[in-house]
Amino acid sequence: MMRLPDLTKNLKENNRKAFIPFFTAFYPSEESFAELLYAAQSSGADILEIGIPFSDPIADGKFIQHSSQWVLERGFKISKFISFLKEIKMDLKIPVVIMSYLNPIYKFGFDRFASFMLENEISGIIFPDLPVEERKILGSSFKSRGISVIGMIAPSTKKERMKLIAENSEGFIYLVSVYGVTGVRDKINESIKSTASLFKNISDKPLYAGFGISNPEQASELAKDVDGIIVGSAIIKILMGREKSFPVDEVRDFLKKMRGVL
């Protein structure tokens, strides 16, 4: 398995800004989801982030909520996702990280899910609703298997808490670039620059920004202050309302433009 700390450290040392597109598992369909992952890989993504649909999200805005609800209404099961990903993972040559709320993985079983991740060389996992102080609930399920548990900070995070999060995170730090939930924004919060600067005085771990990054211009500007860019809602927005016609070429073009400015 490609260890996430090794990959992200290498990207940073080579001054390559990481590009991480986000996709909701099985949205808009199983086959289309796989096609999106392949399109992202061929468009120059460094890491793929896959969201596990959940009925009660605290961090997702209307676009990702829509994609999760779409999938849940069609009978999404983690066990089916696992079987499907095993089939397509051999064609994915770049690292994959999972974004999930705690409840679905807790119910499925931390050890059981971590074993699936190890067997399929999935490099990391993000729990947006798991405070750093409560990480003990995970036990050694992920760490013992070399799977990175990725921490998150925000513009409101204080210096001492940033330090605690950095010390207890692997791979990279996810910087939430807005106050609020995911979504498409007209502009990036100016406080993100000072947040990134403060973090870099605390830790040398790669800092990747997500939430609200909507277009190549925003990505290019924000990339001056961080080590990587995560984009999700802007991708889902392209697909919304056209799930059955599935504009994969339009998504691919968008991904190439985002990669190009980085």
Residue count of the chain: 262
Long-range pairs of 244-251 with CB within 8 A, sequence gap ≥ 24: 244/28, 246/28, 246/29, 246/32, 246/35, 248/32, 248/35, 248/36, 248/39, 251/36, 251/39
Q: Is 49 a catalytic residue?
A: yes
Q: What's the rounded Cα separation, in Å, for the pair 178 and 142?
A: 28
**In the numeric block, which tokens belong to residue 129?**
């609703």
**Cα-flanking dihedrals φ and ψ of residue 37, to 5°?**
-60, -45
The torsion angle over the Cα atoms of residues 92, 130, 71 and 232, rounded to 10 degrees, is: -60
Q: Is 249 a catalytic residue?
A: no
**In the numeric block, which tokens belong to residue 39?**
């399109």
The torsion angle over the Cα atoms of residues 184, 190, 196 and 202, rounded to 10 degrees, is: -130
Q: Check 49, 170, 225, 227 and give the catalytic one.
A: 49
Gyration radius of the chain over CA positions: 17
Residues 148/124, Cβ–Cβ less than 8 Å: yes
Q: Check 30, 46, 60, 227 and give the catalytic one.
A: 60
SS (H, E, C) 147-197: CEEEEEECCCCCHHHHHHHHHCCCCCEEEECCCCCCCECCCCCCHHHHHHH
Mapped onto helix, strand or coil, the DSSP state of residue 99 is: strand
Residues annotated catalytic, as ranges: 49, 60
